[in-house]
A and B are shown apart, each in its own frame.
Chain A
């Protein structure tokens, strides 16, 4: 039975898993889970992932959640080229360091921008206080500066000379605000050059294909199921505002 990967490409961690699997020609069945339609709440999906989140994989009887765990699992199982998850102790440590920091350092911040700027006011018709948005944009600047000064520095990629899982996980998160019209690359030439390198390594066609949805959020918002609207609204009030 083939590997099943459960994805909604609106989600950043889904994109990193999708890109990695496609780039490395890992055979899999794309199981689409449309979050805005509430498909993550189906009984079937509950058996795949207790947390009802994406991405998730089912490999025979083995199910796994959390994109970081999935990426390293796929790298190990399919023996992907060393640079993605290097065997060298210190190079691997650099990848681990980024993968750990990014949960709260990047994902927790960049991930909210598309919501606060576009989704919440447009699809959910909730007003976002200006101070909240401004505060988040300040945090985003902090994250991007930390990224450039601590993780990238003067290297072509996070772990050194070659692209790794760290760059892949970073790029999908950093692209998310771009979908909301926040062009993070405009005033950051070093970041922009890194993005171009990453996109070239992944392949521009695959990169652009994976990111299509975030540039079409208005269309995505139309697919919103009315029952999901109320559920998400509650969560928005709790987590975002």
Chain B
């Protein structure tokens, strides 16, 4: 039985798992969890994962959450090309270092900006106060500066000449605010050049396919409303993103 991947491509970590599986031709069944319809809060999904988040992987009886853990699992199980997660101890440590840092850095700040721009207005009926928005944008900008200065430097990819899981996780997070209409790559030639290299390595078609949904994020609030889920999701989403 092939792997089952429980995904919604609005979610950054779902996109990294999806792209990785596709480009490595890992056989899997795509199980959509419609976040806009609140499916993550349903009884059925609750049996899959009590944490009620995506992505989730199911391999027979074995259920695994956390995209980084899922990516590492797929690498080991399918013996994907070494450059994704090198066997060399020091190179692998560099990928792990990025994985660790990004949770409370790029992931956190990029998600927040997306949230503020895309979701808060519909959940609260008002725009995010300018001060708060400026602060979030400043945090995102600082974290991108760190990314360029400390992780990317003059290299082609985060750990050197070859693309790795670190670049995949990074790009999917950075695309989130782009989906909300903020081009984080603008005025950042080094970052843009890295993005283009990553897209090439992943395959432009695969990249665009995975990002189609988020690039239409402007319609997400309306989608939630159309599904009649606004009142249900409001308190739950506010709690998650406070």
| A residues in contact (CB < 8 Å) with B | 50-51, 62, 64-70, 72-73, 76-77, 89-90, 92-93, 96-97, 99-101, 103-104, 108, 146, 149-150
Contact = CB atoms under 8 A, between A and B. Distances in A.
Given A65-B101, A77-B89, A89-B76, A97 B96 contact: no
A92 B76 contact: yes
B89 A73 contact: yes
Contacts of B101: 51, 65-66
A67 B96 CA distance: 10
B97 A100 contact: no
Interface residues of B, number: 29
Interface stretch (B17-25, B64-72, B192-200): B64-72
A103 B103 contact: yes
Contacts of A76: 89, 92
Contacts of A93: 62, 64, 69, 72-73
Most chain B beta carbons < 10 A, residue from A51, A101, A108: A101
Contact of A97 (B69, B77, B92, B97): B69
A77 B89 CA distance: 7
B97 A146 contact: no
B97 A89 contact: no
Nearest to A64: B93
A64 B77 contact: no
Given A65-B97, A73-B89, A93-B73, A100 B104 contact: no
Interface of B: 50-51, 62, 64-69, 72-73, 76-77, 89-90, 92-94, 96-97, 99-101, 103-104, 108, 146, 149-150
Given A68-B96, A69-B96, A96 B150 contact: no
Contact of A66 (B50, B69, B97): B97
B93 A101 contact: no
Given A100-B103, A103-B103, A72 B69 contact: no
B51 A96 contact: no
A70 to B, nearest CB: 8
B197 to A, nearest CB: 23
A97 B89 CA distance: 20
Contact of B66 (A62, A65, A96): A96
Contact of B96 (A50, A72, A104): A72
Nearest to B76: A89
A52 B77 CA distance: 36
Contacts of B89: 73, 76-77
A85 B99 CA distance: 17
A69 B90 contact: no
Q: Which 9 A-B pairs have the closest CB atoms?
A: A96-B69, A66-B100, A103-B103, A69-B96, A100-B66, A69-B97, A97-B69, A73-B93, A68-B100
B97 A108 contact: no
B72 to A, nearest CB: 5
Contacts of A66: 96-97, 100-101
A57 B77 CA distance: 30
Contacts of A73: 89-90, 92-93, 96
Given A72-B96, A92-B76, A101 B65 contact: yes
Contacts of B92: 72-73, 76
Residue of B62, B69, B76, B94 most packed against chain A (CB within 10 A): B69
A99 B92 CA distance: 16
